[in-house]
A and B are shown apart, each in its own frame.
Chain A
Amino acid sequence: MNQFAQAILNGFSQGAIYALLALGYVMIYKATHVISFAQPALMVCGGLFSYHLTAQIGLPFWPGLLLAMILGALLGMAVERLALRPMVGKPVFTLAIITIGVDIVLRIAANRYMGANPRIVTFPDGSRQYEFLGLSITHQRVALIAVTAITVVALVMFFRYAKAGLAMRATALNQETALAQGIRVGAIFALAWAIAGGLATIAGTFVAAGSAGMEQNTWIIALKALPAIIIGGLDSLPGAVIGGLAVGIVESLTAVYQPDVAPFLGANFALVAPYALMFLVLLVRPYGLFGTREVERV
């Protein structure tokens, strides 16, 4: 029982990272209908911004994270302005391919910076554990879950009540109509990328603050957010969070139980498990759990 609960808890905190990344994908998808494959690079760069500001320049963790988020947001905006804005109006498939190119370019630059050493962001008191009911969780993970929760609430409020949030949803539904209401569609795209960059930075920072730090192949973590958004539904914020957490928990449970329960699936099946879950969800609900079906009058 304890092992089970501990696996859930570990999966939940890992899932928070996926959720943050998934939210970034959803932001960009909602505004522009493009799935951005540049998200892994934004995560790596964001983590390195935090690393540089804290470990190299010497800022404390939280101000460092805040400043890194701003840098990450600026990076997202720069990507949008330089690589995607000139292509406005082109098929979304073309734009998605461009984001793959952007991802490669940014990651190569990041790899040059990293070199062979893992870059670790030190979280204040990060390895201290909270213990309750026989479960344990590090301070760092608690902070991660709290930050994720705050971010989600802020985003939901933004989309529901803020003028820019509403404008962003309107732009996603129909760009021409949005323009006709006086919405600056270009500014909305930039904003979506800025938010996605900020979210990726939070995720990247907590990845870099984890035990392994930020390495050249850490970016693969960000790909786990893809099954997360597909499970949750591409355009749903709650879906991204629940999808992210589900992926984290399934992965952690599989890692703990699969070697004993289903050894024929082979080693490291945990890596595949999120995709298997995605497959199952798609069979039952092709729009994802919370994705909006198109409103159609019959």
Chain B
Amino acid sequence: MLSVKNLEVVYNDVILVLRGVSLTVPRGQIVALLGANGAGKTTLLRALSGLLDIHDGRITKGEILLGDRPIHGWDAPKIVAAGLGQVLEGRRVFGEFTVEENLRVGGHTRRGSLTDSIDEIYTLFPVLKERRKRTAGYLSGGEQQMLAMGRALVAQPDVILLDEPSLGLAPRIVQQIKDIVVQINEERGTTVLLVEQNATMALSIAQHGYVMEHGKIVMDQPAAALLEDDDIRDFYLGRGELATSYRDIKHYKRRKRWLS
């Protein structure tokens, strides 16, 4: 279980990006985190995986618990070794490495032979096995996403953070990625925190969803309830007509601003 309590993150000592975020990812579940661009989703993930320093960011308040261990203030390698893996936004495979070398780097924190865990990845993503000796930079976008996910899984994390796995992929590939996320969650029991712009996809597989805006969690409900929510349907899912007419725009402004 991963839980975040009242987290506050500041960039360059002045830019307050997360303003008291709390969320819980229960063990073995998929939790979706939605939000528009600039809401602070990626910052939250950076805070979770210890990658804030290189962006001149700092946690100023709050705590992050992995299981019952507080991991805020740990550096990235220690967090990875503790079982929390992140697939960064935009895939970031090592372009000049072969597929297999990418996977081996993913297992950096593991002791002993990596052959078994790499074989597991190949059964999960058969296409990577076909391409094992290919240069990763030349794979298609979908294959690179699979490679990035596979690379994080070689370390056999308990919790995996996925930052926009559907980014820039064709709908059919998104479908495939979605199935793989479910498969990872069910077969390996990996807890997933899924950050997505593609809310339909994310909510269709998650048990629980959080909506983030301007550095705060503004909504926190079971995924099924979010799928039914009028505001969510208007601003994240899209369905052609608005539940709230723009004539009543003041009313919606008073309630909550979903679009920034």
B-binding residues in A (CB < 8 A): 89, 163, 166-167, 169-170, 173-184, 292, 294-297
Q: How large is the interface on B (under 10, 10 to 19, 20 to 34, 35 or more residues)?
A: 20 to 34
Q: Using a CB–CB distance below 8 Å, which chain B residues touch chain A?
A: 49-51, 54, 76-77, 79-81, 85-86, 88, 92, 94-97, 101, 104-106, 108-109, 135, 137-138, 151-152, 155
Contact (Cβ within 8 A) A295 B135? yes
Contact: A173 with B96, CB < 8 Å? yes
Cα–Cα, bound, A177→B80 (Å) = 12
Given contacts A169-B97, A170-B97, A295-B135, is CB(A180)–CB(B108) below 8 Å?
Answer: no
B105 to chain A: which residues have CB within 8 Å?
166-167, 170, 178, 181, 183
Are A163's CB and B108's CB within 8 A?
yes
Q: Are A180 and B96 in contact (CB under 8 A)?
A: no
Q: How far is the CA of A92 from the CA of B133 in the complex (A)?
A: 32
Known A163-B108, A166-B104; further 8 A-B contacts with Cβ < 8 A: A89-B54, A173-B97, A175-B54, A179-B77, A181-B152, A182-B81, A294-B95, A294-B96
CB within 8 Å for A176 and B88 given contacts A181-B155, A184-B77:
yes
In the complex, the answer to whether A174 meets B76 with C-beta atoms within 8 Å is no
Query: In the complex, are the beta carbons of A292 and B96 less than 8 A apart?
Result: yes
**Which residue of chain A has its CB nearest to the CB of B92?**
A177
- A183 pairs with B88, CB closer than 8 A: no
Closest B residue by C-beta to A170 = B105
Q: Chain B residue with minimal CB distance to A177?
A: B92
- 30 residue pairs of the A-B complex, CB under 8 angstroms, read A89-B54, A163-B104, A166-B105, A167-B105, A169-B97, A170-B94, A173-B96, A176-B51, A176-B54, A176-B92, A177-B94, A178-B105, A179-B54, A180-B49, A180-B51, A180-B76, A180-B80, A180-B85, A180-B86, A181-B80, A181-B105, A181-B106, A181-B152, A182-B79, A182-B108, A182-B155, A183-B108, A184-B77, A292-B96, A297-B138
Chain A residues contacting B97 (CB-CB under 8 Å) are: 169-170, 173
- Collect the chain B residues with CB atoms within 8 Å of residue A180's CB: 49, 51, 76, 80, 85-86, 88, 92
